Amino acid sequence: MQLAMFLPLLCPVLAGVFARPLGNRLEPRAATWTLTISAVVLAAASWVALAVLALTGLARIPLVADLGHWSAAVIQHNDPVSLGIAAAAGLLLVVTAATAVRMLWRRLRALLAAGLDAACMPGPDQLAVMEDPAPDAYAIPGLPGRIVVSTGMLSSLDTTERDILLAHERAHLTAHHYLFVASAQLGAAANPFLRPLATAVTYTVERWADEHAATVFGDRHRVARTVGKAALATKHAPARRRIPAAALGLIGRRDALKSAGPVPRRVAALLAPPPELRLLPLAATAVVLIAAGLSAFDAARDLHLLLELAGAG
Amino acid sequence: MGPDRHRPAAAGGRRPSGALEAEVLAALQSSPQALTPAEALERLGGGLSYSTVVTILSRMHDKGMLTRTKRGRAYAYAPVTDASGLTARRMRQVMEGGPDRESVLSRFVDELSTSDEELLRRLLDGDGGADLGTGARGG
């Protein structure tokens, strides 16, 4: 029972360590799917594990055992989980569930508000141009989504580069990238060890859109230069209040690309040969997910058997 | 420019609908006075026909994105100036909706730290990238 109970809690730590290298090496679409599914499955498995630990502890309390017609003695005799661990698991479960629900609620509200903004923007087109000398460009999800580009950004880029920018933003909207990001972040809210996965997904969706633009234009170097040019233009524009990158956990230490922010890493990836689909990391991820899922299931079944035994006793 | 002016779906030379308008708008915006279709075509560079430019300009005028005045036998077009800054203010509100709002937007480029900037310049210099000036004007 011990290992099965704690494996789902250990897997997210393992996944967290490998999230960034996976995001860097895998083909971006495969990376996005892999990391998002991993975040959701591992979050669910760790919740099941916490719930099993907490319930096992709960059933040891004589009053609860009476209510469930279980024999507290049988449970205490058979179960290796201490009351302290069970209480900690219960507390963690409540706290992370509250965090996740709060995040889900706020994210849904933000999505609705963004959809409303997208609908209310002037002009019937997907593209909305904002009169603003500060270079900026972003996509707002909605039905349909909008692409907002400032006049400052338009004048920093030449015609091909503008097309590349629009192809990139359009890829975000058509592939519903905000859903991947939100799902991974929900997983991270449910289990903070999964945060590196959410950070990696915000990066891999950018890579996905970059690679899409590169496919459309058939010139990775041109896309790389466009991303670089836009970033440099943004950097040297009059400062605007922004969410600092540090808040998103993107700033690392000084070790060239390893700790660099997303823009230099995207540019470096575009200047490198196109990514290939690698099966080994995918298979390894599948093994971790299956292990976590099976052990969570196993722990739940053990609890069920224990309670049955205690009920019969 | 020249050899590396790649176009999506190069066979038809068709660009996504918004892209052309963005180009035209940028051309008009970078000009101190209103432009006739011929002048706009000149600033847009090759690849477009006169009639395409006329079509785009009149379509954008219909949408209320441009104003036009008669000049000679042609119309001269200028972007609708957003004097009150209403659109910009509204979009800025979108931006300043806090981290939640920020999280559903997909921004083209994130903020660069100083070390990122150095790294980026090195990467692009290595790629032989010219024209990375901060205020580079294209179009």
Question: Where are the domains positioned within chain B?
Answer: 17-79, 86-126
Name chain A contacts of B95, Cβ cutoff 8 Å: 136
Mean pLDDT of chain A: 83
- Summarised one tens digit per residue, pLDDT across range A39-65 is 999 999 999 989 988 888 877 777 777
The fraction of chain A above a pLDDT of 90, given in percent, is 33
Chain A residue nearest residue B91, CA to CA: A130
Name the residue facing B129 among A167, A225, A254 (closest C-beta).
A225
pLDDT of residue A229: 92
Tokens of A18: 């490998």
Burial of B32: CB neighbours in 10 Å, binned 0-12, 13-18, 19+? exposed
A138 touching B (Cβ < 8 Å): yes
In this prediction, does ipTM exceed 0.90? no
Contact A153 B63 (CB under 8 A): no
Counting runs of H as helices and runs of E as strands, what totals does chain B give? 6, 3
DSSP state for residue A237 in the 8-state scheme: S
- Cβ proximity of A197 and A184 under 8 Å: yes
A285 touching B (Cβ < 8 Å): no
pTM: 0.74
> Which among A16, A71, A111 has a CA at the least distance from the CA of A310?
A71
**3 state SS of B66:** strand
CATH fold for the domain made of B17-79: Arc Repressor Mutant, subunit A (1.10.10)
Residues 76-95 of B with CB under 8 A from A: 81-82, 85, 87-88, 90-92, 94-95
Tokens of A110: 């933000």
Q: How confident is the model at residue A253 (pLDDT cuts 50, 70, 90)?
A: very low
A112 touching B (Cβ < 8 Å): no
User: pLDDT below 70 — which residues of chain B?
Assistant: 1-18, 46, 81-100, 128-139
